[in-house]
Structure 1
Amino acid sequence: MQQTWRWFGPEDKVSLRDARQAGAEGIVTALYHIPPGIVWTPEDIAKRQQETLVGPDGSPSGIAWDVVESLPVSEAIKTQTGDWREHINNWNTSLEHIAAAGLEVVCYNFMPILDWTRTNHRQVLPNGGTAMSFDLVAFAVFDIYILARVGAAEDFPAEIVEEAARRVRTMSDRDKADLADAIVAGLAGAVENWTVDTLRDQLALYSAINSEQLRRHLFDFLEQVVPTAERLGVRICCHPDDPPFSLLGLPKVASTEDDYRKLVEAVDSPANGITFCAGSLGSREDNDLPGMIERLGSKIFFAHLRNVTRYQKGIPTGFLEDEHLGGDFDMVAVVNALLREQDKRVAAGRSDWQIPMRPDHGHELLDDAARGARAGYPAVGRLKGLAELRGVMHALA
């Protein structure tokens, strides 16, 4: 697999030189300053391409922009409200400009409102490092007592509701504010930031949209953008829900193997595929990750590799973002399945046989904390994860 590295542009505290020294062979980035629904211009794309090719001192970086993550899908498209048709037209126009720049893989997601959700961005580990985590009890405290969503308690197991009631009594106002900020203020790569009040407003837009309706909106979107992508030779790939189960009463459409089978069958095209995020999908105990790769592998255009340790049985659950080779699922089996999928593509004569992958997230280790990089995207922690995954690939090959 091609070893790539997510980079957030010149302001990223982890530099291109760091990425190159970690062994990255390509860069995953996007135009994070452009709001959802707005066209990516050729000039903006060319500027970001140049920024990846040349380091701050003017020397060649040795790596280039290879994967777009993400071209955001606006809330208007997801809810089919406001200027959603214009936003789809703009998405297609952006694809035209992306293809003209020579980029072929475009990741996107169809998650309502919150692109991804964690309750602690820097949970201290026994070794003194930190990791991101999703604590279901903490999220229940936010949903029931801070957001005060009507009917929120009915969406959690009884024991979680009871523990949330106990925990909230011990929390200061500062504790509650920090928890709310961790959930709604946006994480690295999130396309929009929210407050508790604006989140309530957004939730109201989804009050009449269930998962099947949101899926219909997803298919409507695909029916209009996949033909453009196929004509341009671009492969678009949907990232899973993260976490892969309903939160805040919101619908979800990319959480399971069945969800993805419906997605790729809805618009059958070599341009319509999957971003296989092992950590997101692995947060559900009923997702068979190697089996999903075996059955849907031909549609995997991009892979994110991280592991999780789940806190509770069942769905929903909480989880810790664990070491890349630790956690609850067999990462070696996942990597092996992806490598075997590549073998199938080579045998079939596919030009896109190589799957770009990146070490997804990482623990903050050594001097990562002093660097102040974005949560989940440290230098040393990702270097460690990529090195471990590279070792697995070499051993299996």
Structure 2
Amino acid sequence: MQETWRWYGEADPITLEHVRQTGAAGVVTALHDIPDGTAWPAEDIARRRAMVEAAGLTWSVCESIPMEQCVKRGDGDAPKAIARWKDTLANLGRAGIPVVCYNFMPVVDWTRTDLRWRTHRGTGLALRFEMTDFVAYDVFILRRPQAADDYDPAIVARAELRAGAMDEEEKRLLERNIIAGLPGGALVQTRASITALLDSFKGLDAAAMQGNLIAFLKEVVPVAEEYGVLLGIHPDDPPFSLFGLPRVVSTPRDVRNILAAVDSPHNGITLCAGSYGSRADNDVAAMAAEFAPRINFAHLRNVTVEADGSFFEDDHLDGGADMVAVIEALLREERRRAAVGDRRPAIPFRPDHGHLLGDDIGKKTNPGYSYIGRMKGLGELRGVARAIGRQLDREGAGA
């Protein structure tokens, strides 16, 4: 497994020199400064790769080529948007970038209600998704029509009390946390713009959206094959409907449908243990074992899920996912690939969504992407991988 680190480019508070100090060899990055709807020029990709390599690192994964909303809707603008995506993919392949991670989440990307939640064990500040707060926003602040019908009446009743107790500043903070978009230059939404986007998805059910995803894959996987790029679709985060919208990369069944649609090692998944683990009925270790041959990238983080569906980012080796079993599945898959002559590179992984710790609490950081918390997680994951690797080596020597 190759240790990597997500880096948001020159605007990232964490420098490439700091990345080197973590011990990671690879960088996960993208051209965040290029607006959506624009294919990435080859010269800009080459410039980013040269910058990474000048720091003694490798651009191991592109995360992510922006996915325009029209592609998810499958509307009349989708063909041109897919063509732009293919142009970017080809340029990345020509530049030797081996893996591309992407997602198919409608309107909002990863979503949390609290970006600075104080953990019960006092292990810093964590990201949290609080179900009552989210329902309070959707039903009583955003006031999405018929939103209450999408939730259990008991949660709606609690959410009404919660919304009524919030002052305007609390409401604004909750809204910013939910719809601010991704760090690194992604579009920051407003209440009006998110309402318009939600309206643009009216009438689209899960079957139609899955069909749009499969149509996209049939267009882009041949390009990935031609240019030697491994694709890894990231799961929905969280892996259940938000704002009444369908989400189609949330369960083992979803993954099976995606992989069967285009049966190619270039059509693979990003195993995000935290995203899949945010749904209590997903067994992340079992998914790692089942889908190992098509795992092209891994995000290793952990969450603890609560009875009402709320969850928080836990320490990397705690939470609901058996991280030791997940890492063992990935290491066994690498050995299987080597034994059958599969020339795919070592599976890149990165520590994800570390806690805010120490003096990082007072520094400028991208939410979930502080330095100390992720470095702590990387050290823990590295230790687990080293120990399991030694055990597998002993097994192989004794065979």
Residues 5 and 24 in structure 2, CA contact (< 8 A), matched pair in contact too: yes
Residues 346 and 353 in structure 1, CA contact (< 8 A), matched pair in contact too: no
Q: In the alignment, what sits opposite 1:332?
A: 324
Q: In the alignment, what sits opposite 2:287?
A: 292
RMSD: 1.3
**How does the TM-score come out when normalised to structure 2?**
0.95
Matched, 1:117 2:80: no
Q: In the alignment, what sits opposite 1:63?
A: 57
Q: Residues 148-297 of structure 1 correspond to what in structure 2 (within 5 A)? A: 148-188=143-183, 191-297=186-292
One-letter amino acid of the counterpart of residue 284, structure 1: R
Q: Give the deviation of 1:50 after TM superposition.
A: 2.2
Residues 72 and 191 in structure 1, CA contact (< 8 A), matched pair in contact too: no
**4+ residue runs over 6 A deviation:** none
- Distance across 1 between alignment mates of 2:42 and 2:164: 53
Residue of 63, 69, 77 corresponding to 1:83: 77
- Distance across 2 between alignment mates of 1:256 and 1:47: 38
Matched pairs, number: 388
Residue of 363, 379, 396 corresponding to 2:388: 396
Matched, 1:137 2:129: no
Q: Give the deviation of 1:219 after TM superposition.
A: 0.6
Q: Give the deviation of 1:236 after TM superposition.
A: 1.1
Q: In the alignment, what sits opposite 1:37?
A: 37
In structure 2, the CA distance between the partners of 1:264 and 1:128, relative to structure 1 (3 Å rule), is closer
For structure 2, the residue ranges without an aligned partner over 5 or more in a row are 390-399
- Distance across 2 between alignment mates of 1:64 and 1:330: 29
Residue of 342, 347, 360 corresponding to 1:355: 347
Q: Give the deviation of 1:66 after TM superposition.
A: 1.2
Q: In the alignment, what sits opposite 2:22?
A: 22
Matched, 1:383 2:375: yes
Question: Identical aligned pairs, as a percentage?
Answer: 46
Q: Give the deviation of 1:227 after TM superposition.
A: 0.8
One-letter amino acid of the counterpart of residue 188, structure 2: N
- Distance across 2 between alignment mates of 1:255 and 1:161: 24
SS state at 2:362 partner: helix
**How does the TM-score come out when normalised to structure 1?**
0.95
Residues 345 and 353 in structure 1, CA contact (< 8 A), matched pair in contact too: no
Q: In the alignment, what sits opposite 2:48?
A: 48
SS state at 1:107 partner: strand
Residues 257 and 287 in structure 1, CA contact (< 8 A), matched pair in contact too: yes
Q: Give the deviation of 1:342 after TM superposition.
A: 1.2
One-letter amino acid of the counterpart of residue 230, structure 1: E
Matched, 1:367 2:362: no
For structure 1, the residue ranges without an aligned partner over 5 or more in a row are 55-60
SS state at 1:367 partner: helix
Q: Give the deviation of 1:158 after TM superposition.
A: 2.3
C-alpha deviations, 1:272-319, integer Å up to 9, x for none?
A: 110100000001111121211222111100000000011225xxx110
